[in-house]
Amino acid sequence: SANGNDSKKFKGEDKMDGAPSRVLHIRKLPGEVTETEVIALGLPFGKVTNILMLKGKNQQAFLELATEEAAITMVNYYSAVTPHLRNQPIYIQYSNHKELKTDNTLNQSRAQAVLQAVTAVQTANTPLSGTTVSESAVTPAQSPVLRIIIDNMYYPVTLDVLHQIFSKFGAVLKIITFTKNNQFQALLQYGDPVNAQQAKLALDGQNIYNACCTLRIDFSKLVNLNVKYNNDKSRDYTRPDLPSGDGQPALDPAIAAAFAKSVPAVPGALSPLAIPNAAAAAAAAAAGRVGMPGVSAGGNTVLLVSNLNEEMVTPQSLFTLFGVYGDVQRVKILYNKKDSALIQMADGNQSQLAMNHLNGQKMYGKIIRVTLSKHQTVQLPREGLDDQGLTKDFGNSPLHRFKKPGSKNFQNIFPPSATLHLSNIPPSVAEEDLRTLFANTGGTVKAFKFFQRDHKMALLQMATVEEAIQALIDLHNYNLGENHHLRVSFSKSTI
């Protein structure tokens, strides 16, 4: 048995191709590395039962796993993917020893305390499976698992895209994707918490595609993910033999081995992070790898809107409402069916986004229906033909919200809500002025709040979502004087 006082015994450990053992010898460690970081190397492969740190010029460690099988999996994985701690490559091999015995010196007592704390966290966590996610209330000092939220998911984001982005910072061991609170999220596990920290520092707040799909990253309370299936929602890169979860058998061993050692070449992954357009996302969507149902980068640009209040609706009102979700090019209220209209958006993503957010909403007292049209374009009336103003071309409108590449408006696309975001408010306009203005649209103003640091912006809450929709239609671009035209959009906040 290995003993903590007998460090000389460990100078001549065998190479990685020695006889398998559940005790692993880890060499070339950075001088400042912590026990937590070393333990985290083994956590993805199973329970860590002991650790021995040998401080000195050539810092080493011994890690004991619960089973020999777990140790073999770990060695096989790190033979294909060189592990790094604090940007320094390290080396992992089987130890000659079959178990570890540690003494009660100060250093080893500290290592044991760290191991017990990490084990407690592991025990407290409910294992994850598929897309069912729960997190323990116990938080380790630094977890190798990141929790990722995709804000403003204008284009699809797949598990493979996340793998390629985050692999730039170290070996990604596992990923689970899921939808929570109507947001696409992921849990991603590195072999090393330092890699997780580097990825968080570099990627938090960055956009995957131009001006959209913003990454929000935090450390998870978990230290290990339990993945049951390898499919488009979850994947364990250390276990290519896992089934897909849809009744399909596990991969052929030869294919599995290749899969484990390769990083998939994914159309649409980042280099370095911002993509000038979403052609790659379109390719991913066309291939069926869509991260969110109903969101695709291709598709028809023309929407059919029905069950409109024909006494109230105008091309301008439809332009204003649908313009929250994209740049409306043309609107045509149907001559023989005035409760229906065709709306042409700038691209298929915008039409899909508008349909997802506006179908089933109440406009002028009627629940509108929004579907994709069979038409590919909205035809303008022949020259000289009077169509009673039912068709309007907005292609050159100065009111398009997304005409500027990289516009911040891409980051503020939310479903209709009772709370409105107001901006471009001149200094002379007071809260009471705005309350009165919005009350005149026929609704009730429930709450109002200027932004603390910037009185050019405010939140205003109407009594219902329908009232907020009405107010946005009536007051977006309203002239408040002093060359200030009010900007109105839906907010995800509440007051």
Question: How much is the average pLDDT of 305-324?
Answer: 96
Question: Is the pLDDT score of 268 beyond 60?
Answer: no
pLDDT of amino acid 17? 52
More confident residue, 290 or 388: 388
Domain assignment of residue 133, yes or no: no
My answer on whether 413 and 459 are in the same domain is yes
Q: Which two tokens stand for residue 353?
A: 């986004």
Residue 289: inside a domain, yes or no?
Answer: no
In this structure, the number of other CB atoms found within 10 A of the CB of residue 194 comes to 23
Categorize the per-residue pLDDT at 333 as very low, low, confident or very high, splitting at 50, 70 and 90: very high
Q: Are 83 and 35 in contact (CB under 8 A)?
A: no
pLDDT class for 338, splitting at 50, 70, 90?
very high
Checking if the pLDDT of 320 tops 80, the result is yes
Q: Which residue has the higher pLDDT, 421 or 268?
A: 421
- 92 assigned to some structural domain: yes
**Which tokens sit at 474?**
């009536």
Say whether pLDDT at 69 is over 50.
Answer: yes
Q: How many CB atoms lie within 10 A of CB 452?
A: 6
Please tell me whether residues 374 and 438 are part of one structural domain.
no
Tell me the longest C-alpha to C-alpha distance in the chain: 98
* Amino acid code (one letter) for 307: N
Domain check: are 217 and 175 in the same one?
yes
Q: Is residue 89 part of a domain?
A: yes
Q: Give tens-digit pLDDT for 181-227.
A: 878 999 999 988 888 888 887 788 888 876 678 899 999 988 889 99
Q: Bigger pLDDT: 65 or 249?
A: 65
Average pLDDT value for residue range 310-318: 96
Q: In 3-state terms, what secondary structure has residue 222? A: coil
- What CATH number should be reported for the domain holding residue 223? 3.30.70.330
Q: Which residues pair with 89 in a beta bridge?
A: 84
State whether 160 and 227 are in the same domain: yes
Q: Does 441 reside within a domain?
A: yes
Residue 56 pLDDT grade (very low, low, confident, very high; cuts 50, 70, 90): confident
| CA–CA separation, 317 and 331 (whole Å) | 10
Give, in degrees to the nearest 5, the angle at Cα 445 between 440 and 447: 150
pLDDT at position 232: 87
pLDDT at residue 143, as a whole number: 84
| CA atoms of 146 and 167, how far apart (whole Å) | 13
Cα 286 from Cα 284, distance rounded (Å)? 5
The last residue of one of the domains, among 216, 236, 256, is 236
Say yes or no to pLDDT of 369 above 50: yes
Asked if 428 and 361 sit in the same domain, the reply is: no
Which residue carries 């932004």 as its tokens? 451
**What ranges in 167-313 are assigned the alpha helix state H?**
193-203, 253-261, 279-286
Does position 99 have pLDDT exceeding 70, yes or no? Answer: yes
Tokens of 335: 């001559």
Helix or strand holding residue 470 (H, E): helix 465-475
Give the integer Cα–Cα distance in Å for 152 and 237.
28
CA dist., res. 128 & res. 272, Å (int): 31
Q: Is the pLDDT of residue 425 over 70?
A: yes
- Report residue 262: phi and psi, to 5°: -110, 150
Which of 20-34, 91-105, 266-280 holds the top average pLDDT?
20-34
At 26 the pLDDT is 94
Nearest to 247 by CA among 231, 225, 264: 231
Domain C-terminal end among 236, 254, 288: 236
pTM over 0.75: no
User: What pLDDT, in 10s, does the model give residues 456-492?
Assistant: 999 999 999 999 999 999 999 999 988 899 999 999 8
pLDDT over threshold 60, residue 433: yes
Residue 279 lies in a domain: no
Q: Could you tell me the sign of the dihedral formed by the alpha carbons of 352, 131, 37, 2, in that order? A: negative
Nearest Cα neighbor of 175 from 217, 210, 143, 145 is 145
Contact 155, 267 (CB under 8 A): no
Decide: 198 and 190 in contact? Cβ < 8 Å: no
Structure-model confidence comparison of residues 23 and 239, the more confident one: 23
- Residue 249 within any structural domain of the chain: no
Q: Considering only 275-279, 307-311, 372-376, which range has the smallest mean pLDDT?
A: 275-279
The average pLDDT across 346-368 equals: 89
Q: Sign (positive/negative) of CA torsion 29, 30, 32, 33?
A: negative
Same domain for 97 and 159, yes or no, is no
Output the average pLDDT for the chain.
79
Tens of pLDDT, residue by residue over 119-151, are 654 444 433 333 333 333 223 346 899 999 998
pLDDT higher than threshold 70 for residue 407: no
Task: Please check whether residues 383 and 413 belong to one and the same domain.
Answer: no
Distance CA 231, CA 424 (A): 47
- Dihedral of the CA atoms 435, 414, 473, 390 (nearest 10)? 180
Q: How many helices (H) and strands (E) does the chain have?
A: 11, 25
How much is the pLDDT for 332?
A: 97
Region for 295 from its dihedrals, namely left if φ exceeds 0, alpha if ψ lies in -120 to 50, beta otherwise: beta
Interhelix angle 253-261/68-80, nearest 10 degrees: 60
312/386 same-domain check: yes
> 486 lies in a domain?
yes
> Is pLDDT above 80 for 241?
yes
How many domains does the chain fold into?
4
The pLDDT of residue 57: 65
With CA atoms as reference, report the closest residue to 285 among 293, 273, 274.
Answer: 293
Least confident stretch, 77-91, 126-140, 152-166:
126-140
- The per-residue pLDDT for 70 is 86
Which DSSP state fits 78?
H
- Same domain, residue pair 413 and 380: no
Q: What's the domain range around 188?
A: 145-236
Report pLDDT for 16: 44
**What is the rounded distance in angstroms from the CA atom of residue 11 to the CA atom of residue 7?**
8
Q: Which of 207, 236, 265 is a domain's end point?
A: 236
Phi, psi of 197, deg, nearest 5: -65, -45
pLDDT for residue 298? 43
pLDDT of res. 105: 56
Q: What's residue 277's pLDDT?
A: 34
**Residue 141 tokens, joined:** 């000092």
